[in-house]
């Protein structure tokens, strides 16, 4: 065996995985090779010493700490500190290193802002202020009419001003769409465009003075100024016309209101009458009667339920007696001596029990009702029927038959015994049938009493609701009556106030702020556009630099930089030209924004527009 193979066997033997054959082969080799023998004993001694040592324990969270030490982390806070603060101020260096990401967005934003300010159509806004002077007459009777007109004036007159009739007149007189570019525009499109740009608003000052502002937007300042002045004239004219029409209709309004109140009074009176007629039994006035009737029905219900309970118990008892007698008759043996036929004690019949119960109920009802009450009459009839029935049954006599030529006393006694039992069975069956008929009748009466109790309980439960509804109806009726009386009084006072209103024209209108030709457009706003363009260019540039530096730090990307002299000169030249271009754009746009020469550069804008159309 070779020594290399013997080392493998030694390893298996020391590990404890060697089988018997391997162990024999290893021992044979060790006996032959002295060198391998020494190695084997040295290894075995070393293994024993290692086994006697205590096992080492790893520190707590060893793997997590090892991972933190070996895996690098990207800390955003540390990156920001290194970027903007000492030990090395890197922001100017990064800005110069990534200058193209700042220069190009800045130039593009400036060019876009200048293009928008010069190529976008100029929109001008013209407005005029109309003051409504307070009325000259201070009269408490005129105030309600005037205030109503003021609240309605804005909506009404705005609709009138924006109607196609007036817009067509304004468009025609002011020539809003006389330019060649509007030749293909349809009439309804012109009306829609004016409506979209026209606005009428009302402002209320202290002391009750109202003012109306009419505003219009458009491309041509002279035309929209003329249009606003025309609209102000129409506005004043329409306000006075509407005021006169509504003041003239004030008397008619009060007259119609009085007629309407009269109709409402009549209608509410009929409604209250019909309501009382419909809910007569559940009105608050009937509450006492309903409570008395409910108490009586509940007492009757208790009596009926007790009777039903007794009848059901009696039915069960009679069934047991019938089964017992039937069993005695079926199991009777004539040869045996029959028991002495002892007559049963007289039993109270079902009719007699019902008669007693009805009489007791009659006595209870007599304390609450008169003899003419329907329940009393019905009880009298039932009592009379039962008494007649009991009298007829008592007149019937039953004779005990005697068998002809009885052979002995046993046959005679047996015959008497059977006759007696059959007679008892017949009587019990009659009582049982009477009970069977009585139980459904009692159940029907109980069901009827339940229905009546439910009906009266419903009436009593509805009484508060009816009371509340009646109160609401009566309150509305009272309010209408008070309103009717107030209208009658105001009608007389208003007739006098209308005459004074017509003479003074309660409110006079005058133009407080005449519309002038605007010198600057409302859109585009060159100052805001300049600030937005500069801010957007700087934000986009620094944002790109910042994101690129984060990307480089996170992924450890190496940025290529030219090292040759020619490349550096070319880069510096292009950088100088780019910075100079950005400065020229910034200076030109700033002059344009500060001097607000947008209106004076109308010719430039027209040239640009013609060029774009071409």
Question: Which tokens in the block code for residue 421?
Answer: 């039992």
Helices (runs of H) and strands (runs of E) counted in the chain: 19, 4
User: Looking at the chain, how many residues does it have?
Assistant: 614
Predicted pLDDT at 268: 80
The pLDDT confidence band at residue 92, using thresholds 50, 70 and 90, is low
3-state secondary structure of 497: helix
- Give me the sign of the Cα torsion angle 472, 473, 478, 481: positive
Q: How far is CA 445 from CA 315, 355, 359, 435, in A?
A: 19, 16, 17, 15
Q: How far apart are CA 454 and CA 294, in angstroms?
A: 9
The pLDDT confidence band at residue 141, using thresholds 50, 70 and 90, is very low
Q: Which pTM does this prediction carry? A: 0.37
Task: Indicate if the pLDDT at residue 612 is higher than 50.
Answer: no
- The DSSP 8-state label assigned to residue 86 in this structure reads T
Task: Indicate if the pLDDT at residue 613 is higher than 70.
Answer: no
Inter-axis angle of helices 526-555 and 100-119, to 10 degrees? 160
Q: What value does the mean pLDDT take over residues 365-372?
A: 72
| DSSP letters spanning 398-420 | ------SS-SSHHHHHHHHHHHH
Predicted pLDDT at 127: 80
Task: Indicate if the pLDDT at residue 207 is higher than 60.
Answer: no
The pLDDT confidence band at residue 527, using thresholds 50, 70 and 90, is confident
Task: Indicate if the pLDDT at residue 161 is higher than 50.
Answer: yes
Predicted pLDDT at 426: 81
| DSSP letters spanning 530-549 | HHHHHHHHHHHHHHHHHHHH
Predicted pLDDT at 177: 77
Phi, psi of 20 (to 5 degrees): -65, -45
- SS3 readout for 262-329: HHHHHHHHHHHHHHHHHCHHHCHHHHHHHHHHHHHHHHHHHHHHHHHHHHHHHHHHHHHHHHHHHHHH
Instruction: Return the higher-pLDDT residue of 140 and 36.
Output: 36
The highest-confidence range among 200-214, 284-298, 337-351, by mean pLDDT, is 284-298
- 124-248 — its CATH code? 3.30.1890
The highest-confidence range among 411-415, 535-539, 559-563, 594-598, by mean pLDDT, is 535-539
Closest CA to 478 of 268, 274, 270, 257: 268
Q: How far apart are CA 357 and CA 63, in angstroms?
A: 99
Q: How far apart are CA 44 and CA 295, in angstroms?
A: 112
Task: Indicate if the pLDDT at residue 93 is higher than 70.
Answer: no
Q: How far apart are CA 580 and CA 585, in angstroms?
A: 9
Q: What value does the mean pLDDT take over residues 92-112?
A: 77
**Range with the lowest mean pLDDT among 129-143, 180-194, 361-375?**
129-143
Q: How far is CA 403 from CA 328, 329, 334, 343, 399, in A?
A: 21, 18, 14, 19, 13
Average pLDDT, the chain: 72
pLDDT tens, position by position, 16-60 = 677 777 778 877 877 788 777 778 777 777 777 766 666 555 555
Predicted pLDDT at 197: 81
Going from N- to C-terminal start, the domains of the chain cover 3-52, 91-120+524-613, 124-248, 284-492
pLDDT tens, position by position, 542-593 = 888 778 777 776 665 555 455 556 666 777 787 778 788 888 888 877 777 7
Find the DSSP H helices in 367-405: 374-395
Task: Indicate if the pLDDT at residue 497 is higher than 70.
Answer: no
Predicted pLDDT at 314: 80
């Amino acid at each position: 065996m070779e020594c290399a193979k013997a080392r493998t066997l030694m390893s298996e033997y020391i590990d404890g995985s060697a089988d018997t054959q391997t162990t024999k082969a290893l021992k044979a080799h060790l006996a032959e090779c002295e060198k391998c023998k020494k190695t084997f004993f040295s290894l075995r001694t070393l293994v024993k010493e290692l086994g006697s040592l205590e096992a080492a324990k790893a520190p707590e969270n060893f793997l997590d700490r090892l991972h933190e030490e070996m895996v690098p982390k990207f800390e955003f806070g540390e990156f920001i500190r290194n970027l903007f603060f000492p030990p090395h101020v890197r922001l100017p260096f990064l800005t110069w290193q990534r200058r193209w990401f700042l220069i190009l967005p800045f130039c593009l934003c400036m060019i876009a802002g200048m293009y928008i300010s010069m190529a976008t159509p100029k929109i001008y806004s013209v407005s005029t202020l109309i003051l409504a002077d307070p009325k000259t007459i201070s009269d408490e009777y005129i105030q309600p009419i005037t205030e109503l007109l003021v609240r309605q004036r804005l909506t009404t007159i705005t609709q009138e001003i924006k109607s196609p009739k007036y817009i067509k007149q304004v468009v025609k007189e002011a020539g809003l769409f006389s330019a060649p570019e509007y030749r293909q525009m349809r009439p309804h499109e012109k009306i829609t465009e004016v409506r979209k740009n026209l606005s009428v608003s009302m402002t209320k000052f202290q002391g009750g003075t109202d003012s109306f502002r009419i505003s219009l937007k458009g491309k041509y300042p002279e035309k929209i100024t003329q249009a606003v002045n025309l609209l102000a004239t129409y506005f004043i004219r329409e306000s006075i016309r509407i005021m006169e029409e509504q003041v003239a209709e004030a008397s008619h309004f009060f007259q119609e209101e009085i007629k309407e109140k009269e109709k409402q009074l009549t209608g509410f009176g009929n409604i209250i009458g019909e309501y009382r007629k419909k809910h007569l039994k559940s009105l608050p006035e009937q509450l006492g009667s309903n409570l008395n009737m409910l108490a009586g029905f509940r007492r009757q219900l208790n009596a009926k339920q007790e009777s039903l309970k007794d009848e059901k118990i009696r039915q069960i008892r009679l069934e047991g007696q019938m089964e017992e007698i039937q069993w005695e008759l079926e199991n009777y043996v004539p040869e045996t001596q029959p028991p002495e036929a002892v007559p049963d004690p007289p039993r109270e019949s079902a009719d007699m029990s019902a008669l007693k119960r009805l009489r007791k109920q009659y006595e209870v009802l007599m304390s609450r009702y008169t003899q003419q009450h329907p329940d009393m009459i019905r009880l009298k009839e039932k009592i009379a029927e039962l008494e007649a029935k009991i009298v007829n049954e008592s007149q019937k006599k039953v004779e005990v038959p005697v068998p002809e030529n009885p052979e002995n006393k046993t046959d005679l006694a047996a015959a008497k015994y059977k006759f007696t039992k059959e007679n008892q069975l017949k009587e019990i069956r009659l009582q049982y049938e009477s009970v069977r008929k009585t139980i459904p009748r009692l159940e029907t009466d109980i069901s009827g009493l339940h229905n009546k109790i439910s009906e009266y309980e419903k009436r009593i439960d509805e009484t508060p609701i009816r009371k509340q509804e009646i109160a609401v109806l009566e309150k509305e009726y009272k309010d209408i009556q008070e309103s009717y009386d107030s209208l009658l009084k105001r009608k007389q006072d208003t007739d006098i106030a209308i005459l004074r209103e017509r003479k003074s024209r309660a409110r006079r209108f005058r133009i407080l702020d005449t519309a002038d030709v605007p010198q600057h457009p409302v859109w585009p706003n060159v100052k805001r556009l300049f600030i937005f363009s500069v801010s957007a260019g700087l934000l986009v540039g620094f944002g790109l630099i910042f994101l690129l530096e984060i990307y480089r730090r996170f992924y450890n990307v190496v940025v290529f930089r030219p090292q040759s002299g020619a490349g550096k000169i070319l880069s510096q030249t292009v950088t100088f030209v780019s910075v100079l271009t950005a400065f020229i754009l910034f200076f030109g746009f700033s002059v344009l924004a500060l001097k607000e020469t947008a209106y004076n550069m109308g010719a430039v804008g027209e040239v640009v527009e013609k060029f774009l159309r071409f």
